[in-house]
Amino acid sequence: MRYFSISFAFMLFFLTAANAAIYQEEVRYYDVEILLFENIKPNPANTETWPSSLKFEVPENALFIGSPYPGPLPTEYNPRFTFKPIKASTYQLQDEAKKLTEHEDYRVLYHRSWRQPGMNRENAVSVKFQREIPRIKLPVSIAEDNATLTIEQNDYNRIINERMPDINNLQGLVTITLSRYLHIQTDIQYTRYIVEDNPDNPDAAFAKIKPQVYQLKQTRKMRSKELHYLDNPRLGLLVYITPVPSQK
């Protein structure tokens, strides 16, 4: 009887360990790459209004890529594959980034890639980022004999450049979850400053300068190895997700 109890306990331990090993092997890992860019010259026909401020809620378990995991790392996750940065030289969207950089109407704001496990919605960890973006200043002609601007326009732009903050602010959350399909959830906020039109007083010294928050908040079902695009009139986001082979 004692022999049976020991044998049963050993078998139970063996099955538990085997199940744990199988569960660990079932964890799927993905390389996630995002390329965020600004549309410098949005369609003037777009009349969508944007708030001057917006609350940005960051989950407690959000992390910056490369920072420690928020809390104890689940035993089934490989620490080398869990929210680790990927070398820029191996990015999949380098050609797209080059084309955007070379185009006068667009500007790359953020480009990053990392490796993470496929996580269900309840346990998902959000990737957060924050950057200061230099403001593109209004054109000012230096040589008056080659000026493409009128004297009035030149003076107006010079005064606005002096008054307007030099830095725009970018912050964002990206959450990748896995159920039957991959899903992405974004909350990206880009705060830039604008001059509010005042037809009663066109003097640049009295122009009202205010922040405007462009939010890209979307949820989208995705497929791996397919390029996906999310956008609003000011921002565009390219997303490419690649499954990591299990033998790695």
Q: Which helix (H) or strand (E) holds 167?
A: strand 167-178
Backbone angles phi, psi at 163, to 5 degrees: -90, -30
Backbone angles phi, psi at 39, to 5 degrees: -85, 105
Q: Picking from 16-30, 94-108, 216-230, which range would have the lowest pLDDT averaged per residue?
A: 16-30
pLDDT digits (tens, 9 = 90+) for 84-109: 999 999 999 999 999 999 999 999 99
Q: DSSP class of residue 3?
A: H
Predicted confidence (pLDDT) at residue 10 exceeds the cutoff of 60: no
Predicted confidence (pLDDT) at residue 65 exceeds the cutoff of 70: yes
Domain ranges for the chain, please list them: 29-243
Residue type, 105: D
pTM of the model as a whole: 0.85
Over pLDDT 90: what percentage of the chain? Answer: 72
pLDDT digits (tens, 9 = 90+) for 113-128: 999 999 999 999 999 9
What residues are paired with 236 via a beta bridge? Answer: 37, 231
- Greater confidence (161 vs 42) lies with 161
pLDDT at 172: 98
CA distance 214 to 184: 19
- Greater confidence (165 vs 141) lies with 165
